[in-house]
Chain A
Amino acid sequence: MGNFTLGRYIPLDSPIHRMDPRAKIMAMLFVLIAIFFPAGWIGYGIIFVAVSIVILLGKLSFTYILKSMKPMMFMMFFLLIMNCLVLKTGEPLFTIYSFTVYSDAVFQTLYIVVRLLLMIMITTCLTATTKPLDMTLGIEDLLKPFTKIGVPAHEIAMLISIALRFIPDLIDETTRIIKAQESRGVDLKEGKMKERIMAILSLIVPLFVSAFQRAEDLANAMEARGYAPGEERTRYKVLKMEMRDWILLFCAFLLLVGMIVLSRFK
């Protein structure tokens, strides 16, 4: 559980870490959309280089990002098999037991894998360099214009920040309860059906109890400090767009436009 890396904030000090979360979120959206334009290998090459620069500036390591890809390996492998079975266009590459694999199957899979890799790289750039709290501030600000049509921007942001705040806690709590029950002889890997159900129950019940307890405690603590949803609140931290934030936004926008143009000329 402790090795769960996808989407975690990495506390470092870098120019990317110090950027305005709103700029980072918008830039991420631009580049994510850019990926969906079929700009070919050149296009993906450009995006890859751009994202790599951000990763280097953010002092993130590539092995770390590759590691967070791990849970998706199985899915990609499954995709490759499916494509090999279904796609029968392009050049025949090789034959195993009278079963021929065509080039399109491999290329199609590669295409998806590359896109996925890029998407994970881009989102990691955001989540690894932005504190959850800053992220929610950013989301709240970006949703502000939509409050006019009834979108509860502040409530959504608060919801997200509370959920994010509790994920590591719940993971810790789960490991704790697993350990406590293992000390009482619970065997999660082996045992008969009935024992396994008992074992799982012995985890889920305490987990729910403590999750509800935490939720209640937090609600009380917030109310005790005068929190009321919908009320006007001042902010402790005021976000301010600086030159570098505008540059990031501009570059991301340029990338998006570039991809659109590239996909037209193909």
Chain B
Amino acid sequence: MSITFEKVSHIYSDGTPYRFVALSDVDLDIIEGQMTAIVGQTGSGKSTLVQHLNGLLLPASGKINVLDHVIEAGSHPKGLKSLRGKVGLVFQFPEYQLFEETVLKDIAFGPKNFGFTEKEAIEKARHAMKLVSLGKEFEEKSPLELSGGQKRRVAIAGILAMDPQVLVLDEPTAGLDPQGTIQMMELFRELNQKHHKTVLIVTHDMEQVFNYCDRVIVMAKGSVHTHTTCEEFFRDSSLCNSLAILPPALIRMKDALKEKGFTIKDEMEDIHELSKEIAREVKHG
């Protein structure tokens, strides 16, 4: 089982003067159990791409395979609801989808739709609240009286409560404070490593890609520009530079050191490793 795209295209408003080809001939093979980042400039088709994963958008041509579900252009896909239970999609700015009177009820809404009893759904909701570090005191609050960041957590918890196998997040940390961003990213990493969820995350933040993800997909003008491992992608900054992406600070540092004559090996995990390398160089040189 894996997630594959074969020659997938998507056209918005086909047949009107507003026709727009948002995806063209996308071929992808997303590896399960990994954390994959999707990056690309605004308008490059990232959100369009991820909405194909749970059948919210259907391809104009091509074929998609997600966890044994086949979505093919032209034919009406079956079992979309069960697919949506398995692929949890958190939208860009998901705080606008809250509607229940209380936070707990809102989070329990998803599981209830997928056939869990009231009691089970509440249980799942409580668990999801713990995951996103929302305390018990929030349970009975109205979602409307929360701050933006708290709403975001509620919305993400609403998807986590469905316990999906694949978690797709469209810019989940945009607009969160630095502390909250780190908490969220740590949570996604934990879901990926401990609970073996496949995580796909749309982001503009290269530090997140570098620090948390295994693979990276670069979208450009509706096509997949690059799909590779993060190590490969950040090996040197030339690929980033050619894409007008600012590489993570660590990579920039490494490149700057190399330019000044240091010899530093290419595989670089974190700042400790880099400092060790520098120390070694300085002592010997």
Contact = CB atoms under 8 A, between A and B. Distances in A.
Q: Do A and B come from one complex?
A: yes
Contacts of B110: 184-185
A179 B91 contact: yes
Interface stretch (B94-102, B199-207, B210-218, B245-253): B94-102
Max chain A CB contacts within 10 Å: which of B17, B88, B98, B144?
B17
B15 interface: yes
Given A176-B96, A187-B113, A202-B109, A182 B84 contact: yes
B41 to A, nearest CB: 21
Contact of A185 (B13, B18, B81, B144): B81
Interface in B1-55: 12-13, 15-18, 51, 54
Nearest to B90: A183
B217 to A, nearest CB: 21
A193 B51 CA distance: 28
B81 A187 contact: yes
- Mostly, the A contact residues are helix
Contact of A209 (B90, B109, B144): B144
Interface residues of A, number: 26
Interface in A204-243: 205-206, 209-210
B85 A185 contact: yes
Interface stretch (A2-10, A39-47, A87-95): A2-10
Contact of A64 (B17, B89, B159): B17
A50 to B, nearest CB: 23
Interface of A: 2-3, 5, 10, 12, 64, 67, 173, 176-177, 179-187, 195, 201-202, 205-206, 209-210
24 contacts: A2-B16, A10-B17, A67-B16, A176-B91, A179-B51, A179-B56, A181-B97, A182-B84, A183-B54, A183-B56, A183-B89, A183-B159, A184-B84, A184-B110, A184-B159, A185-B81, A185-B110, A185-B113, A187-B113, A206-B96, A206-B97, A209-B96, A209-B99, A209-B144
